[in-house]
Amino acid sequence: MDSKKALLIVNPCAGRTNKRLGALEIVKKFSPPEWETEIRTTRCQGDATTIVKDEGAKYDVILCCGGDGTLNEVINGLMKLDKKIPVGYIPSGSTNDLANTLGIPTELGASADLIQSGKKNSYDLGTLNGRYFTYIASFGIATDLSYSTPQKLKNIFGHAAYMINGFVVRFIPMLFGFKPIHMKIEYDEGVIEDDFYFGSISNSTSVAGLFKFDHQDVKLNDGYLELFMVKGLKRNIDALKMLKKAIAQDYDGVQMMIVKTKKVKITCNQDVPWTLDGEFGGLQRDCEIEVVHDAFEIFSENNKLFYPKD
């Protein structure tokens, strides 16, 4: 049997130090005679995209060892290739939100074993003005926490770093002082124009660790994205009511709304900072967002978030 050729992208800055040391275990698992693996280490932002775009076509599998931001770069490189190559995600970031959604183990050896099992699912992507995102594009209050939290803090404390930097230091004061953003939002079944406190377009069962969505409604390969919006708050008491409703998953369409859509057009009269998969996505006024159905295959267990293959 011919060995499989794999390209392993490693982000040495992602996640906790003890996980980075586990990269040696990964190399051992993807070694001859079953595998021929070449390793590339990222040195700066955008490296993973360039490496995959320039070299990826030569391989049977692309492996990503890093956080959600590294995977985002890998996917943006992958989508520039003329052929579909399955992706193996070996999560070693601080929060690993996408891995948790997909059911990919965060223990390096276990995630490598899952890849070697050959189980994989087709996955939908989103694009924002031509740039791909794997699970979320968002704007509004505290959406910069993932990329503004110091890397050293994230490496030491993991997900707790976002809580320290976000809810303790910044989110609570911002909750009562954030100025809503006026936007016109056009989606498949309607148009809404209002002041918004927060918004996201996602392919995930949770947003920002606070807003949870029903697993029955979200499918990762159904050809739809979830548009979620939180309208501007007029009084401090409204913020507390909103948090209570979020915990109860009570999205009544008044303060918070969620709809499924294939396309979204957002128009705004000011530059708005966006976050894509936890990384800065640039300042945008007008946004064209749409789903890319069955964009690529990712090694993962079959679960209720995926429609079964034909």
The set of residues, in sequence order, having a beta carbon less than 8 Å from that of 190 and lying 6+ positions away, is 259
Residue type, 91: P
Could you give the CA distance from residue 275 to residue 143 in angstroms, rounded to a whole number? 6
279 belongs to the catalytic site: yes
State the Rg of the chain over Cα. 19
40, HSE (Cβ side, Cα atoms, 13 Å): 21
Tokens standing for residue 52 = 């995959």
Please state whether beta strands 4-10 and 35-41 pair in parallel, antiparallel, or not at all (unpaired).
parallel
Find the catalytic residue in 34, 279, 290, 301: 279
Complete DSSP assignment for 209-266: TTEE--TTT--TTSS-EEEEEEEPPSSHHHHHHHHHHHHTT---SSSEEEEEESEEEE
DSSP state of 32: T
Could you give the CA distance from residue 165 to residue 150 in angstroms, rounded to a whole number? 9
Report the Cα 242 to chain-centroid distance in Å. Answer: 24
The set of residues, in sequence order, having a beta carbon less than 8 Å from that of 228 and lying 6+ positions away, is 199, 200, 201, 202, 207, 211, 213, 251, 256, 257, 258
DSSP state of 3: P
Which residues participate in catalysis according to the annotation?
279
